[in-house]
Homo-oligomer: A and B are copies of this chain.
Amino acid sequence: MKRWLIKNGTFVTMNEQLPQFQGWMAVEGSEISSMGEGVPPEEEIVAASEVMDGAGLLFMPGLINTHGHAAMSLLRGLGGDLALQDWLQNHMWPMEAKFSGDDVFWGTSLAAAEMIKSGTTTFVDMYDHMTRVAEVVDTAGLRASLTRGVIGLCSVEAQNAKLAEAIAFAKDYHGAADGRIRVMLSPHAPYTCPPDYIVKFVEAAHDLDLPIHTHMSETAAEVQQNVRDYGCRPVEHLDRLGVFSRPALLAHAVHLTDEEIALLADRNAAVSHNPVSNLKLASGVARVPELMKAGVTVSLGTDSAASNNNLDLFQEISIAALLHKGVSGDPTVIPAAEALRMGTVYGARSIGLEGVTGRLKAGMKADFIALSLNKPHFVPHTDYVSHLVYAASGADVVHVWADGKQLMRNRELLTLDEERILSEAERCFRRLRA
């Protein structure tokens, strides 16, 4: 197994002990094998088949994007600045209805290229044609938690067919690509899936021992609808249906009462906060400081490029840190280190990968990125965590590794053909719009 070494690097580990240091890190196969301050010990140098000089580079865990629909990158920039229902009904859905497996493949490839180029090494994807998404993940070398998102506003036969497809995908792909692919089960949302259908997902999740991922309380309107249709708000509704008897990841969770926050904390459910998408679609501002204070794990997602309109998780990290200060009036909420944990450690925790990725630590997977520090916006070198949160962007990332394999070197993608992807994605869009 190849063993190699980085020396002279600046490391932001996200560990509680030794969160930052100047030093070295060794990688063996897919894992971080050892690391330390100062110069590497002689035996590490001897054991390494290759030594990389990390001077001028900051190494940190690859970012974790916990909610998105990668293939929708094909719809970036389509119908912006519109009211939600107009945007969905007149721009998104007519295009998505035409998506073939090929469109999903190239749209997801486009997203994968963008994510690698902006420092994301693990992502959650909820969409259709998931075998094509898995194909991209396998080739790209990324880590992903994939899930067939299912809307249940259809006949029982159609419902059963979709559920069967989601289960078949889970059986075939959970643990695929050397374990880089994990699977979750996804009733799309409480307002798009009848209660008895959601219960079937809960049962399947128990049978297969999988987590559940769903949209919840993104807009005030869907919360009102839930109260009208089911006599309670979405958190209580999902709790009654047994969703929180499984590890659960809830996307958005913008509109919550104190009682709902307490219930989420009690049930150990995680939230994927999508601040840019929530702002752009005018859904509102999630109560993130309150969620975190209650002990809920809050991670970050971009949602799709259609409502963002990029997949740069550094932007979500920055906006998560900024937005809640401005809205709460308290400049001490979500300090830089906490925002960075939302994009790394808490991301891993949200999807059951806390011991696997999201930190730089011996024994964990070698999912990490390197940023160039020789940029005006990183000077002076006062506080690297602050710079990563408030000054960086995905464009500062120069190298990316996942599962020990290099995916980008000097901003050149090594596992994907970027030029072809841009051209095929453009071609797919032109055909869909025709």
| CB neighbours of A393 from chain B (8 A) | 312, 315, 393-395
Minimal Cβ-Cβ distance residue in B for A118: B377
User: How far, in Å, is A319 (CB) from chain B's closest CB?
Assistant: 7
Mark A397-434 against chain B: 1 for CB-CB distance below 8 A, else 0. 00000000000000000000011011001101110000
Q: Is the CB of A379 within 8 A of B110?
A: yes
| CB neighbours of A113 from chain B (8 A) | 376
How long is the Cα–Cα vector from A284 to B391 in the complex, in angstroms? 21
Q: Which of A42-97 contact B (CB under 8 A)?
A: 73-78, 80-84, 87
User: How far, in Å, is A213 (CB) from chain B's closest CB?
Assistant: 23
Confirm or deny: A328 has a beta carbon within 8 angstroms of a beta carbon on chain B: yes
Q: Is the CB of B76 within 8 A of A380?
A: yes
Q: Is the CB of B82 within 8 A of A390?
A: no
| CB neighbours of A421 from chain B (8 A) | 376
Confirm or deny: A172 has a beta carbon within 8 angstroms of a beta carbon on chain B: no
Confirm or deny: A260 has a beta carbon within 8 angstroms of a beta carbon on chain B: no
Q: How many residues of A contact B (CB 8 A)?
A: 75
Mark A339-382 against chain B: 1 for CB-CB distance below 8 A, else 0. 00000000000000000000000000000000000111101111
Minimal Cβ-Cβ distance residue in B for A74: B380
Binding stretch for chain B, among A153-161, A230-238, A242-250, A330-338: A330-338
Q: Is the CB of A326 within 8 A of B418?
A: no
Confirm or deny: A278 has a beta carbon within 8 angstroms of a beta carbon on chain B: yes
Minimal Cβ-Cβ distance residue in B for A323: B279
How long is the Cα–Cα vector from A342 to B162 in the complex, in angstroms? 47
User: How far, in Å, is A166 (CB) from chain B's closest CB?
Assistant: 28
User: How far, in Å, is A70 (CB) from chain B's closest CB?
Assistant: 11
User: How far, in Å, is A382 (CB) from chain B's closest CB?
Assistant: 4
Q: Is the CB of B386 within 8 A of A77?
A: yes
| CB neighbours of A227 from chain B (8 A) | none
Q: Is the CB of B82 within 8 A of A331?
A: yes
| CB neighbours of A319 from chain B (8 A) | 319, 322
Mark A110-121 against chain B: 1 for CB-CB distance below 8 A, else 0. 110110011000
Confirm or deny: A281 has a beta carbon within 8 angstroms of a beta carbon on chain B: yes
Q: Is the CB of A117 within 8 A of B376?
A: yes
Mark A273-285 against chain B: 1 for CB-CB distance below 8 A, else 0. 0001011111111
Confirm or deny: A396 has a beta carbon within 8 angstroms of a beta carbon on chain B: yes
User: Which of A118, A318, A328, A426 has the largest count of B CB atoms less than 10 A from its CB?
Assistant: A318
Confirm or deny: A308 has a beta carbon within 8 angstroms of a beta carbon on chain B: yes
Q: Is the CB of A376 within 8 A of B429?
A: no
| CB neighbours of A332 from chain B (8 A) | 81-83
Of the candidates B387, B395, B426, B430, the one whose C-beta lies within 8 Å of that of A76 is B387
